[in-house]
Amino acid sequence: MKIKHLAMSAMFVSMIFLSGCWSNQELPDLAMVSAIGIDQTENGKYAVTIQVINPGNVAGEGKQGAGGSESPPVTTYTETGDNLVEISRKASTKMSRQLYYAHANLIVIGEKLAKEEGVRKLFDALERDPEFRTTANIVIAHKSRASDIVDTLTSLDKIPSNKIIKTLKTTEKAWGEHLVVETREVLSKLVSPGQNPVITSFGMVGDSGKGDTIESIQATNPQSRLEANGLAVFKEGQMIEVMKGEAAKGLIWVLDKIQSTAVSVDWKEEKEAVVYQAVRQHTSVAADVQDNTKMKVSVEVEAEGDIGEVQVPVDLKDPHIIMELEALAEKEIKKSIISSINQAKELQTDILGFGEAVYRANPDVWKEVKQDWDETYFPEIEVDVTVDAFIRRTGLRNEPFLSNLES
């Protein structure tokens, strides 16, 4: 009985301490940050643009301003300083609420900052902050400032940061030239030898000076838009190039990140006459390493897809025709992959993960080559690319529509 009373007393005392609310934060006292844009000023300081959600303007139809016009769903604040902690605290002079970063799901880094200083210093403050989410997506502002991207209002999505994230996910799934990249992925590659990061770049299309006005999103054809426009390539934490087109798609094939994409192939004399839609794929990268003079990387791709479009008369019931189309699709995919490998070698930055494959194959040899990997060994390494494409379906019809016209 005595032990029971002691246990009850201990539980009672514990409840007093556990129910404390010394760290309680009321929602009306918080400014919910949805995106952060980080630029470099001419004198080398940071310029940070913070996108804050206006809760009342996001819910329902939004509020009407004094003149009867709709109020924006977000407000942006810009502050400059020598480091991110200083800037975050200085921003308190401009707002009545405490900045709350737990909902910040997007970081935009300006191209000038990414190229001149790099991104390594930025991530120290971001990773230390307990409110900051390492699952936040990260993009590079290509040919524009990060503030331009963060300031721009969007029509389909009320919160602009959501528009960028949804665009990343949509284009990664449907087109295959861009990537959804989380902050923790960049952090991992910055500290891991054998693979440098790539980050999707975004740019402004149209008049950037009008992107932050309500009028810009009330038109059927907005005067300014945000658009994914390539993959920013990094070396030792600094951006060195933007990879676009087939090279960017080839890189994503190698990284095993293709979810779905379209591959146009020539047929006879017709250019891009047949479209192969890849719907499943798997890429494996392996290395055969004897010593630092005998290294070879093998890239093997297995793709499965459908015929999405045919612009010439061709009999898709013929197995030989299907096999020929599969071979043509393999050729185009291989060409994209080789294009990405050649461009990475020219830039002397291993964004393909070949160094990691060498390490897995022979850790002792990797210790010998890792210091000079990007500049000496990676550009010279032999690479063998093998692609196996399979056509599972030809769509809802076997014969092209054009065959009926010619008969």
pLDDT for 275-289, tens place per residue? 999 999 999 999 999
Give CA separation, 209 vs 107, 148, 159, 213, 349, in Å: 21, 8, 19, 9, 36
Three-state DSSP class for 7? helix
Q: What is the pLDDT of residue 67?
A: 45
Which amino acid does the sequence have at 392?
R
pLDDT at 68 over 50: no
Rounded Cα–Cα distance for residues 407 and 393 (Å): 24
User: pTM score, two decimals?
Assistant: 0.86
**Is residue 5 scored above 80 in pLDDT?**
no
Q: With left for phi above 0 and alpha for psi between -120 and 50, is residue 391 left, alpha or beta?
A: beta
Band (209; pLDDT cuts 50, 70, 90): low
Gap between the Cα atoms of 198 and 249, Å rounded = 12
What does the pLDDT look like over 54-64, one tens digit per residue? 887 666 544 54
Phi-psi region of 257 (alpha: psi -120 to 50; beta: other; left: phi over 0): alpha
| Mean pLDDT of the residues in the chain | 86
| Residue 15 CB neighbour total at 10 angstroms | 9
What architecture is the 244-407 domain classified under in CATH? Answer: 2-Layer Sandwich (3.30)
| Cβ–Cβ under 8 Å, residues 160 and 51 | yes
Q: Which residue intervals of the chain bear CATH 3.30.300.210?
A: 244-407
pLDDT at residue number 1:
58
Q: Which band of pLDDT confidence, cut at 50, 70 and 90, is reported for residue 314?
A: confident
Q: At a CB cut-off of 8 Å and minimum separation 6, what does 186 contact? A: 119, 123, 138, 197, 199
CA distance 113 to 40: 5
Q: What is the pLDDT of residues 158-186, one digit of tens each?
A: 888 999 999 999 988 888 899 999 999 99
Residue 232 pairs in a beta bridge with 199, 242
Q: How far is CA 49 from CA 80, 101, 106, 121, in A?
A: 9, 13, 12, 18
Q: How many other β-carbons are positioned within 10 Å of the β-carbon of residue 194?
A: 21
* Contacts of residue 104, Cβ cutoff 8 Å, sequence gap at least 6: 33, 34, 35, 36, 132, 133, 136
The pLDDT of residue 328: 96
Instruction: Give one DSSP letter per residue of 30-44, joined into a string.
Output: EEEEEEEEEEE-TTS
pLDDT at 363: 94
Strands 106-110 and 137-141 turn out to be parallel
